[in-house]
Structure 1
Amino acid sequence: MKLTAVLVLLAGVALSAYWLLTPSTPGDESPEAGFARDMQVHHAQAVRMAMVVRDRTTDPEIRTLAYDIATTQQHQIGQMYAWLTLWGLPQAPSGPPMTWMRDHHADTPGEPASMPGMATADQLKALEKASGREAEVLFLRLMIPHHQGGASMAQAALQLTAQREVRLLAQAMLTAQSSEIEVMRRLLTARGDSGLQKTSAAGP
């Protein structure tokens, strides 16, 4: 009888530990949900820019980089879309974007931040009109700060969540985008251009 009681007690302790150590399903206003929604938007612009430049250059290195960015980030969009579906949450936020990151990236403390690194509508139009070397340089000028913005969002997610799948993806994004930034800086320098200030992306 005592052995049974001990086993029941141990089972209860193990179950309690499991629930304490396992993150609960994220809520609608959680950093996990905010990250999944906003990073889908951020990634979608990267995919668009990558596909545009891939059609406007014959340079094999730029085309390979653009294809890698587009396919990787489109796949990650699918993952984040699936999270929200699995969590029973809507894909669209009920409030303004970036509220989940307000304490990590905001112009005014306590206020929602702008989405970092996003290109403006005018910059996208300029990229779509360009071709050849001009398109390559403009793409690199826009994508470097875009990647920097995405990396800052991934870093914030790592600081704000204990959800395993979110942490794994955020770390993968941070690693890949940091590496690609170095590649793009090299490609930009090789084209005789190191002045990112000439075409700054929207957001800090």
Structure 2
Amino acid sequence: MTLRTLSYSFGIVMALALSLAAGAQYRELQIAQTQLQRLQPSLIDIGFSQSMSFHHRQAIAIAQLLLDGRPTGLAPLARSIAATQMLELGEMQGWLKLWGQTLLPPNPEMSWMLLGNKPLDEALSQYLIACGKAEAGMPGIASNEELAQLRHTEGRERDELFLRLMLAHHQGGVPMAQFAAAQAKLAVVRKVAAQIVLDQSKEIHQIQSILAVMPRLEHH
């Protein structure tokens, strides 16, 4: 084999090697782009995180109003709600910062719930109608007057008001969490939404049980 032939053969080998390397790099780039795309949130992920952040902030505020040092038998429940929702709020706010989104909804509309891959059922349709009628954009949000009443009421009346405000608050948040648990794009968002449904459904049952017993306690 002459030097010229050897050089030519070596050039072909190098060209093939470079071509294969470029092809491998291109495939790796495609894989990376696909993986990055999978990590990008949908409008449902963003809308849920913003709306539930707003929702959680008030639940934490209601719980903290009860935990102001005055006597109450509901302190363990209030602390549990505040602690759980602070953790979830921190997680959702972290996502929104990562996504470059505002930490709260830019407007009170819940239109992100219209973006699922199937039409809303009757219950969710009614929920969206209730959202549209609610001053805060979702049902169950306590008014400033109700929060002031909780701040200044005492004793059993205060405990009962806390329970009723938190019950309405949870009942107003569960439907959107159920929707996000089924329709959010990112698995981590679906997981947190499902956990919110589970936790708040348990707390709804707990609050209803306490409220059912309270009138009987007043007669003893």
Native 8 Å contact 1:56 1:131 kept in 2: no
TM superposition shift of 1:165: 1.0
Aligned residue for 1:116?
Answer: 139
Aligned residue for 1:127?
Answer: 150
Aligned residue for 2:67?
Answer: 54
49, 62, 82: which one aligns with 1:70: 82
Confirm whether residue 187 of structure 1 aligns to residue 210 of structure 2. Answer: yes
Give CA-to-partner distance per residue, 1:113-165, whole Å, 9 cap, x none: 83121112211111111121111000111111211111111101112213111
Native 8 Å contact 1:98 1:112 kept in 2: no
More helix by share: 2
Unmatched 5+ stretches in structure 1: 194-204
Unmatched 5+ stretches in structure 2: 1-15, 115-119
Aligned residue for 1:26?
Answer: 41
The alignment partner of 2:128 has SS state of coil
Deviation beyond 4 Å, 4+ runs, structure 1: none
TM-score scaled by structure 2?
0.71
Whole-Å separation in 2 of the counterparts to 1:173 and 1:132:
30
Distance 1:192 1:118, change over 3 A: same
Distance 1:107 1:135, change over 3 A: same
TM-score scaled by structure 1?
0.76
Count of paired positions: 182
Confirm whether residue 37 of structure 1 aligns to residue 60 of structure 2. Answer: no
Whole-Å separation in 2 of the counterparts to 1:129 and 1:96:
29
100, 106, 124: which one aligns with 2:128: 106
Native 8 Å contact 1:154 1:171 kept in 2: yes
Whole-Å separation in 2 of the counterparts to 1:173 and 1:46:
13
